[in-house]
Structure 1
Amino acid sequence: MKIANRTFIISGGASGLGLATAHDLHAHGAYVSLLDLNADAGSDIVSSLGPRAKFFEVDVSDTDAIAAAIAGTVAWVKETGKPIGGVVAGAGVGLPGLIIDKKNEPLSISSIDFVLNVNLRGTLDLIRQALPHMTTVQPEGPDGERGVIIMVASSAAFDGQMGQVAYAASKGAVASLTLPLARDLSKYGIRAVTIAPALFESSMTKMISPKVKQSLEKAMEFPKRAGHAEEFARTVRDSIENGMLNGTIIRLDGAMRMPARL
């Protein structure tokens, strides 16, 4: 599928992996619609990228905020004539907590809701609201492709550590819905791919201590380092361009299998 002259909606697009993806797709001729909570960063990014970028301040756990961003993107598409080619659902949060702590107190339901609402509900809500505007796009190429949905899981979906019950649940759900989503969308010529990164340099991992980061890096086979955002963005680009990537989860983890505890 061609990237140039198509519009891609990227949640979490103002920082980390989402921002690297936006830069990469933009460099290959895409129009990028960036959804994020950080309005100041979003404004600066759009100023640097120019007329092929738009920013919308969005909390992905807010259905109305997503709807407004989709409406704004659709209006922009009508102006540019560059159809929506895909969604990169990159907004995510991590809020560690043991399901039962040392004081015999269970993990708060508000903490669980926060993680699930952003990582799972926000992903599904963005996808479902964008899809009506993708299914009607003129199909292109010999396969009659209309677009691609790219979701972000995590290595925690497969080997989450202590304290990652809510996070692993949210990312495991994203991984498990990949195939049924691809099956739902197959008749429209829309693919679904999930990328499951391990330790990557991002705004989320900046919050972990050097000791924890070093411990996680030791669990990687090769290379023994955190992934670079550009490496994630390159995988997104290949997932868009390679039509045979569909209904699958790509582990981007340096053969890392996380230990039970650090």
Structure 2
Amino acid sequence: MNYFFVLNGKSMKKTALIIIASFFTAWFLYIGNIVHLPVFSTKDGPKAIYKGEKDLALTFNIGWGDEKAEPILDVLKKENVKSATFFLSGSWAERHPDLVARIVKEGYEIGILGYNYEDYTELEEAKIRQDIAKAQVAFKKLNVKDIKLVRAPTGHFDQKTLKIAERLGYTVIHWSIDSKDWTNPGTEQIINNVSRAKKGDIVLLHASDSAKQTEKALPHILKQLNKKGIELVTVSEMIANAKTKTSEIK
């Protein structure tokens, strides 16, 4: 149904200025809330989850390497952390079946980090489907079942990627706090990068060999979170237990 209003010239100008001012105010507030996300906004389309409403999810990406994953698992066990989500590449999982089995045995969640370390925004749809499908096969062979989460290997994704993931039955997970541990900025800087984490955040960490300082930073990060009274959950638990914030992708 359409509504029509009759306004004189002065009222029309005044109304137009109010509408324009309101629009820009809302726009800047919106941008301020998502500026940390490397994605674009659009009215319609699939969405990626990057934040929850309560609790906090620690996520660890593992794409390659033989040395850092086990020490990270040792720290989590020592600190009595019961919930975490590991995004594993299929190629790494194939080469480290014992570590994959340990992750499952110790109650941690597994998500797919593709098969090869490739930027999905630079691949054709068929190649993205092929990469995810290859990872699916790898995890099935390792008897890892019911994987529902996927993360783009390089962290870069677009609407094309999300549509493919949705068709395959996966939810794309991004993050709201980036530890930047893979840049090896120093233990103190990694701790500081995560220090602003609060309830609802999804934290990005790495257990690949490129992240040489995460093992030392992790106990301090866990201590900070404990002081804040923040409960750790898996990403799936976060999705199930609270409303989630999503970012629509262009």
Greater relative CO (CA pairs within 8 A, separation 6+): 2
TM-score bracket, shorter-length normalisation: 0.3 to 0.5
TM-score in terms of structure 1 length: 0.32
Larger radius of gyration: 2
TM-score in terms of structure 2 length: 0.33
